[in-house]
């Protein structure tokens, strides 16, 4: 089975490889689209010290790969930590270069986290969320000025906004133009489910990250955790989601040499689920149509019969 176009691969999956080699492996596995990892200490395919020369080099490598880019998954520092003037200027320059890179590679969106890697706030939850929202809103305005969307990854199990309630509180403070990423591993680690997330935030969901997990742990290979992937596909259909599921297989139970093969396996599995779900929905729609037609026929027949009875009585 070929990989469905609605399944893509993040370069984070092959973070152990240099960017050019990772892109080659992703393409050879049958993918046509990527998320580009730019997370210091997690995936260094985009240098954290990002100057104009680095933007040009990364965009050149990506363009030569022939792969399209859905998003750049980046980090610009702890958004709930107040900055001095110098750090503020440095962050603004970093954001500008990331947006430059988005434009250069044709990325639809820039993805950012929701605060520092700690559940406890710096000053207080309300004030921390307000600071995160101000930072993200300013970045969103910049990005939209260049034709780029901003998506926030929330919840994120290791960060300030780690569960669905804090996600709701943050989204309430953000402009409606800021989308949210449904990362099924972080949602599951927080003790919830993708379906519960989509029921609350489906209208703002712009992207989906795929990895298996269990409460409190996010690094399982697909099939080794408790995420209900068939129900995920069904729930996405229920909200008329028309985006992509990106494999972000930052797992601890797969050898580096097997990661490309594992990505291909998971993509084939998800493609099968998408196909089965589409077939099932079509059958249900057809059955419902037949039942509606039969009901209309019955009503009409009963109406004709009733009319005939009245006429004969007259």
> Which pLDDT tens digit goes with each residue over 1-44?
689 999 999 999 999 999 999 999 999 999 999 999 999 989 99
CATH topology of domain 7-281: TIM Barrel (3.20.20)
CA angle at residue 179 from 176 to 182, to 5 degrees? Answer: 140
Residue 111 is predicted with a pLDDT of 98
C-alpha 104/C-alpha 200 separation (Å) is 34
Is residue 208 predicted with pLDDT exceeding 90? yes
The whole-model pTM stands at 0.88
Q: Which of 35-49, 119-133, 296-310 has the lowest mean pLDDT?
A: 296-310
Is the pLDDT reported for residue 310 higher than 50?
A: no
Separation CA 33–CA 3 (nearest Å): 11
* Mean pLDDT value of segment 236-243: 97
- Angle of helix 125-145 versus helix 85-105 axis, rounded to 10: 40
């Amino acid at each position: 089975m070929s990989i469905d176009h609605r399944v893509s691969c993040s370069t984070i999956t092959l973070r152990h490889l240099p960017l050019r080699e990772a892109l080659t492996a992703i393409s050879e596995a049958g993918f046509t689209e990527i998320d580009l990892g730019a997370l210091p200490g997690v995936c260094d395919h985009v240098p954290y010290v990002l100057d104009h020369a680095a933007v040009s080099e990364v965009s050149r490598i990506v363009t030569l790969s022939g792969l399209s880019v859905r998003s750049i998954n980046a980090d610009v520092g702890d958004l709930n930590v107040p900055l001095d003037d110098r750090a503020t200027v440095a962050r603004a320059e970093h954001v500008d270069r990331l947006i430059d890179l988005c434009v250069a590679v044709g990325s639809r969106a820039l993805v950012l986290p929701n605060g520092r890697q700690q559940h406890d706030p710096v000053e207080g939850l309300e004030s921390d969320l307000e600071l995160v929202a101000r930072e993200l809103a300013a970045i969103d305005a910049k990005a939209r000025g260049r034709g780029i969307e901003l998506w926030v990854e929330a919840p994120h199990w290791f960060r300030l906004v780690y569960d669905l309630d804090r996600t709701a509180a943050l989204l309430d403070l953000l402009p409606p133009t800021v989308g949210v990423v449904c990362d099924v591993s972080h949602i599951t680690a927080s003790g919830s489910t993708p379906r519960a997330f989509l029921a609350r935030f489906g209208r703002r969901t712009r992207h989906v990250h795929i990895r298996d997990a269990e409460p409190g742990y996010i690094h399982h290979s697909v099939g080794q955790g408790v995420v209900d992937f068939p129900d995920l596909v069904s729930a996405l259909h229920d909200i008329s989601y028309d985006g992509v599921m990106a494999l972000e297989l930052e797992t601890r139970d797969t050898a580096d040499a097997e990661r490309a093969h594992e990505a291909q396996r998971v993509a084939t599995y998800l493609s099968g689920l998408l196909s089965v779900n589409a077939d099932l929905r079509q059958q249900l729609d057809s059955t419902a149509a037949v039942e509606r037609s039969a009901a209309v026929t019955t009503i009409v027949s009963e109406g004709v019969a009733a009319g005939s009875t009245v006429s004969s009585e007259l």
